[in-house]
A and B are shown apart, each in its own frame.
Chain A
């Protein structure tokens, strides 16, 4: 067998180079070189987001309709569809790049933790103890001496001991001159189980280290990995960090990730990708506060079922196939270092319990953090992203459902859509007499694309101005050049080429509007179907609506109600909690009571499958309208739209 020919690939503007075998896929080469390319479909060639320009060299490419003749002649190729044949220089244009820094933006009106009544009592505890040195009269073993001392001094009994502690014990006791600090960990009690938690002795250190007592809370999202460094002595978050989940280059949603896991070596690659992201976040957290890695004692994480399984190296294949079974809802604690997370050997991971394949630990975490299970008032909890997760209930019962909204809210399937980073259009206003827009972007940069929340704001404003009708179609008769025929029906020009980062017009097309209507229709129909499934007459009966999720926290309530994404309730009923998944992970790191609740809550939630519900399909078609086919569902919006229409008619006539 001859060795494969080696090819050099140079990526611009990063100016990094990698040597690969001839025939290697260009997208895989870019990922290997650390060049981050946006590939929302996971390399199947269907999304057209991974376009690159060949400056030198040759590739063999499978052409799809995502590359126009003009682009092709200019050397534009889809990285995922190209195999390298000769030494290459490839330029990655701005619209295909995944920004390195994700910006963490907090909403001003984010309510901190809504769960109440819990005691500050972290599951991870440090005890300092001074032991009598052994003598000929008292030469009991080191371990017995330690356990005896702990029982006497702290009334700790029934403890189990990790073997790694035994290994370190003799040296630690003598190095510390019989003064040591031990770390114990409790895991969630079985619901209904009587008796106390049984702590596990997981670490021993010489001397008094109680002053250095930290743990980590993580949200493992499909798009981003967010981490927090917690000071367990003070009960406070001392550092935050966020990174893209590196799996994003293998597909944007859970389904494409699961599909990728079916390729040879796919699961290992995805597991490694998320581990890299976690390790990067840990590095950043520790650097920010100059905390030593040995002083981290625990890791609490929450993620959806697929993310959790991939992190643990468990093939998620059955999540995707009927009857949709996860490997486990409640994972036993795992040693973090055994997975490849850069923390000390004694650190365990506690993953938030899941409810079903599509209602994961991120949701039970949000429900615990928001305290829905503690209050008698009827609450609607919504986590909106690629998947819409819905929980309704109160202290008596909890019902959940999940509906696939598609990637539109994260910019997928939208001609100029993008994730919410610098340069994404978010704010939008339109002059109702000239139809001229004014846009604002995240970070105030030159526009590069449209964020999910921007899309909602734009469509709401166009609807109010009468530029689109209730079926999401443009009114081409308006006297403006902003509305023009394009390749996907009519389109509205948001920014002209000279004003943009990409040097091309940024437009919103009728197909984009259709995709957004499907996404919002799925979420609203999901809420409606779950609501009526549990015997509640309408969404008007909710006392409170809690919006979780990074996407959710940047939603404009009025715009979201205008397009029919959120129910038309008094605006003060809406509460934002930001990243609910991270919130729950943090709070359970502080309170063993909440940790117990987490397990109880996950078991308390009844999951409703919407995929085979006739009502859901019916509600979905009814929701494919702006704001909705049934005007009575959106009374204030209907009134406002008809007022605006009359006003226009008066001015026009």
Chain B
């Protein structure tokens, strides 16, 4: 007698979202089954990796993370080009760290000019990430959205406290919104509903569940993302059927474990390898949980993740 392998009954699929424009545009989402359950459904668009670029030279990065970008960290455009040309970045994520009112507090106009300059210089999709300060992000993104009209940026984080104003700006100038909530399935869904009520079309919305790296609660992130996919794919939960973006690089590289030198704690092992592997392994876990876009930093970690992706999807 033939063995009948049980199959999950899927009743929904993830919406497809096109990021950027032109021939380097990227489409994400569209899954009809759980991540990598290729025996049950399709993943028409493989998860994509966006490489991080900062708007000002990073001050507290681990040596290992700075090394691949030596000479370009002072110039975001050169940095982005290096990512694309040398490391094959499919997308760029510009972190507007210097707009932080508790830091350099760079003004909205200056930030917008930089975003415009970078967007003009590259053809891959551009994600622009703020500081999660509601007032400042609102000010910055209103200007960015207007100045970069037609660039089809991805703007984030858009949170409950600033979703109306940033959402309206994104809607007006046709940018995609990254809805950010503190790792909770209900809060994520609520923000998606609110953005929908605001008029953001479904193909202009991605969600950022707020993730962490290995050793900092990634199990919890995994289980929340897993539940989001279960709700979206098997429980007809339409307001959760959006691609997921995971901002993992800064979570991994800020931890004590990737920064502490081997001389201080010999059992931690080689510092460079340690940082790369932590980033790659964290990213791999999130892929399995359902990430559609990973924001990553180290080229070697990215190479490893691409290898995993290729093996997981090999016919």
Contact = CB atoms under 8 A, between A and B. Distances in A.
Interface stretch (A279-287, A316-324, A621-629): A621-629
A510 to B, nearest CB: 11
A236 interface: no
Contacts of B197: 469-470, 645
Contacts of B8: none
Contacts of B185: 618
Contacts of A631: 193, 239
Contacts of B194: 469-471
A470 B190 contact: yes
Contacts of A471: 160, 190, 194
A435 B184 CA distance: 35
A629 B184 contact: no
Given A469-B194, A471-B194, A629 B160 contact: no
B186 to A, nearest CB: 4
B237 interface: yes
B189 interface: yes
Contact of A470 (B187, B193, B236, B237): B193
B83 to A, nearest CB: 37
A629 B186 CA distance: 7
Contacts of B184: 621
A621 B193 contact: no
A449 B31 CA distance: 53
B183 to A, nearest CB: 12
Interface in A463-514: 469-471
Contacts of A470: 190, 193-194, 197
Interface string B18-30: 0000000000000
A629 B239 CA distance: 9
Contact of A621 (B160, B186, B236, B237): B186
Interface string B45-71: 000000000000000000000000000
Interface in A520-570: none
By CB atoms of chain B within 10 A, which of A471, A621, A631 has the most?
A: A471
A144 B239 CA distance: 81
Interface string B227-255: 00000000011010000000000000000
Contacts of A622: 186, 189
A625 B184 CA distance: 14
B108 to A, nearest CB: 21
A25 B8 CA distance: 67
Contacts of A618: 185-186
Interface in B139-170: 160
Contacts, number: 31
A630 interface: yes
Nearest to A649: B199
A630 B237 contact: yes
Contacts of B187: 621
A308 B143 CA distance: 63
B192 to A, nearest CB: 10
Interface in A617-642: 618, 621-622, 624-625, 629-632
A263 B298 CA distance: 62
Contacts of A621: 184, 186-187
Contacts of A625: 186, 190, 193
B167 to A, nearest CB: 11
A625 B191 CA distance: 10
Contacts of A632: 236
Interface string A70-93: 000000000000000000000000
Nearest to A645: B197
Contacts of A469: 194, 197
A630 B189 CA distance: 8
A631 B236 CA distance: 11
Contacts of B193: 470, 625, 629, 631
Contacts of B236: 632
Nearest to A623: B186
Interface in A591-625: 618, 621-622, 624-625
Contacts of A630: 189, 237
Contacts of A624: 186, 190
Nearest to A620: B186
A635 to B, nearest CB: 13
B162 to A, nearest CB: 11
B292 to A, nearest CB: 22
Nearest to A466: B197
30 contacts: A469-B194, A469-B197, A470-B190, A470-B193, A470-B194, A470-B197, A471-B160, A471-B190, A471-B194, A618-B185, A618-B186, A621-B184, A621-B186, A622-B186, A622-B189, A624-B186, A624-B190, A625-B186, A625-B190, A625-B193, A629-B186, A629-B189, A629-B190, A629-B193, A630-B189, A630-B237, A631-B193, A631-B239, A632-B236, A645-B197
Given A622-B186, A631-B239, 14 more contacts: A469-B194, A469-B197, A470-B193, A471-B160, A471-B194, A618-B185, A621-B187, A622-B189, A624-B190, A629-B189, A629-B193, A630-B189, A630-B237, A645-B197
Q: What 10 A-B pairs have minimum CB-CB distances, sorted nearest first?
A: A622-B186, A621-B186, A629-B186, A629-B189, A625-B190, A629-B190, A471-B194, A621-B184, A470-B193, A469-B194
